Structure 1
């Protein structure tokens, strides 16, 4: 017989998904240890698990999956074919409806006045302390996008307003925000998306302690420090309104020692995510829980705690490095709410990670 872990590995389903399907009566283990509660599956159930995984990836409702599995085991091929065909028709109709809605939305976008135009065509010249700009670039660089289908995310937003300069990046799955002080800018709010190669060239110049000059002139961005400078064109795309995305619901706050927490992530349990992908890549999950004592632990989700939050482990490790503090504050809300990583001494620099559902 296969253990639940072996069934998860061989069947293409996560352990939590197998528990869920057991509770739902879809794929019930052949035997459950009455003392430990551990689930065991017979060899012939592996085929059912693989079939279930395929049907769920295709988006079939659980009610239909129950019928497919029952008919599959009874060799009722007519019923199986009928259910598959009916689901395919639903998907095709849904896709047709979605295409119609997106066509309407594109037409609305074509005719909608863009309120951000003035932000990206303004001229600004300001002075920024080199160490602050360097620290801000280091804090956000890790979360920049690389998807060619979303070129507006493949850079760093420089958002200039008043005496503040916000740097923002996002690849949809995570977002990072940092701030640096400025002087000399008294004009309107100005935004420019600096492509990553230019941002990296800027960072290479920021080796001193003296202020540097940042100039935005339409679609051209220039950074000057002493007798050196780097310049280039902005990306020419609108960046999402990040201010709407960083207002998170109140969550549980926990202070963590960064080195200790990093070690717990690197050596603690992970949940492989073969069926989940971000930009086409499979990833490992770390499941986090805030204990009654207010500490954060990395757990294996053995008891299906409804407050557990699962995130991409590699992304979380990147965020810890970028935060560059010995102690950090984690904010964990509901399992469907983003996880925030904050500095205890700097409320304007933080990152957020989108959670990943534990149940397939």
Structure 2
């Protein structure tokens, strides 16, 4: 007999996945200890578990997986082949449909005006307090993308409107927004995407207390601090409309003590995501507003799974002893805010838990 841990190691299925498939009646252990509830498997079930792992990677629906396993154990290879061929045809049709949809989308994009171009036309001269800009950049820098296939996200958006400079960074899985007050500009809204190496060079100049000067000329941005400056070309790409992604009102809010919360995350239980690439922390909001780490495998409507590394980085970027966590639905992003500055926050996308 194999323990559930040995079965997970030999089959490529996680322990939580084996528990899920037991509850679903797809791969039921040969024996369950009536006292401890611990699952044990027969040696011949390893082959079924490996088959199940391959079918899951291929995206086969659970109903078909159940039939394949039942036919496999009954040596009905003809039905197994037909089920596999039918699933492959569905995948090929889905890929064909996706290609058609993307062709239509590309046609729409070819005819759509680039809003960022019009927002970069004006020349801008303004001043901003060095500590404010430094704090804003520190708040968002961690969320900038490093994906070479998405160069438009490999920078920080500078969004200037009225007396505000909003800086924004996102890598699709997280987004951070911060604000700094500006003076000396009363023109229309202007947006540029500053590449992260130039952002880092700008941040290195912000070690004083006085104002610094920011200027935009077409695709060139310059930051001057005394007799020092950092300048370079902006990215020639658009940036997502972050205002459409902002968290909605009416979400549950709870305050966490950052030091103790960080310690709990670093030492508490973790889960694996769908791809198993990152450690996940599963948070649960109790009725009184307390956030706990959730180690149980059962479904819970109040739980949300987050990339633990991203969450720890967001806590550090918050730069406060206490932070506010905002929760919506389990599939909605959570927001992390400063109690004394509602305009600076980050958002983290939840991660699907491994079944």
TM above 0.5: yes
Q: Is the 8 A contact 1:323 1:342 kept in 2?
A: yes
Alpha carbons of 1:244 and 1:230: their partners in 2 closer, same or farther (altered >3 Å)?
same
Residue matched to 1:28: 28
Distance 2:3 2:295 in 1: 16
* 1:307 aligned onto 2:307: no
SS at match of 1:182: strand
Q: For residues 335-354 of structure 1, what are the structure 2 equivalents within 5 Å?
A: 335-354=330-349
Distance 1:8 1:267 in 2: 23
Distance 1:183 1:3 in 2: 67
Query: Shift of residue 155 of structure 1?
Result: 0.3
Q: Is the 8 A contact 2:262 2:312 kept in 1?
A: yes
Query: Shift of residue 6 of structure 1?
Result: 4.4
Q: For residues 38-53 of structure 1, what are the structure 2 equivalents within 5 Å?
A: 38-53=38-53
Unaligned runs of 5+ in 1: none
Distance 1:36 1:342 in 2: 42
SS at match of 1:149: coil
| Mean CA deviation greater in 115-124 or 255-264 | 115-124
Query: Shift of residue 297 of structure 1?
Result: 1.3
SS at match of 2:316: helix
Residue matched to 1:319: 314
Alpha carbons of 1:132 and 1:10: their partners in 2 closer, same or farther (altered >3 Å)?
farther
Distance 1:43 1:346 in 2: 59
| Mean CA deviation greater in 48-57 or 27-36 | 27-36
Distance 1:101 1:144 in 2: 29
Q: Is the 8 A contact 2:272 2:354 kept in 1?
A: no
Unaligned runs of 5+ in 2: none
Alpha carbons of 1:336 and 1:16: their partners in 2 closer, same or farther (altered >3 Å)?
farther
Query: Shift of residue 226 of structure 1?
Result: 0.4
Q: For residues 226-265 of structure 1, what are the structure 2 equivalents within 5 Å?
A: 226-248=226-248, 250-265=250-265
Distance 2:279 2:23 in 1: 25
SS at match of 1:235: coil
Alpha carbons of 1:235 and 1:44: their partners in 2 closer, same or farther (altered >3 Å)?
same
Q: Is the 8 A contact 1:16 1:358 kept in 2?
A: no
| Mean CA deviation greater in 185-194 or 47-56 | 47-56
SS at match of 1:259: helix
Q: Is the 8 A contact 2:16 2:354 kept in 1?
A: yes
Q: Is the 8 A contact 1:249 1:333 kept in 2?
A: no
Distance 2:304 2:15 in 1: 15
Alpha carbons of 1:136 and 1:189: their partners in 2 closer, same or farther (altered >3 Å)?
same
Alpha carbons of 1:250 and 1:181: their partners in 2 closer, same or farther (altered >3 Å)?
same
Q: What do the CA deviations read for 1:245-300 (whole angstroms, capped 9, x no partner)? A: 11336432111110100000000011134x516xxxx1111111112332111121
Q: Is the 8 A contact 1:139 1:349 kept in 2?
A: yes
Distance 2:9 2:171 in 1: 29
The count of residues paired between Structure 1 and Structure 2 equals: 355
Q: Is the 8 A contact 2:137 2:203 kept in 1?
A: yes
Q: Is the 8 A contact 1:16 1:304 kept in 2?
A: no
Q: Is the 8 A contact 1:342 1:351 kept in 2?
A: yes
Q: For residues 1-360 of structure 1, what are the structure 2 equivalents within 5 Å?
A: 1-248=1-248, 250-273=250-273, 275-276=274-275, 282-360=277-355
- TM-score normalised to structure 2 length: 0.95
Q: What do the CA deviations read for 1:45-89 (whole angstroms, capped 9, x no partner)? A: 233222222212211111111111112222322222221111111
Query: Shift of residue 5 of structure 1?
Result: 4.4
Alpha carbons of 1:47 and 1:249: their partners in 2 closer, same or farther (altered >3 Å)?
farther
| Mean CA deviation greater in 56-65 or 261-270 | 56-65
Distance 1:329 1:41 in 2: 45
Q: Is the 8 A contact 1:268 1:299 kept in 2?
A: no
Distance 1:202 1:286 in 2: 34
Alpha carbons of 1:324 and 1:241: their partners in 2 closer, same or farther (altered >3 Å)?
same
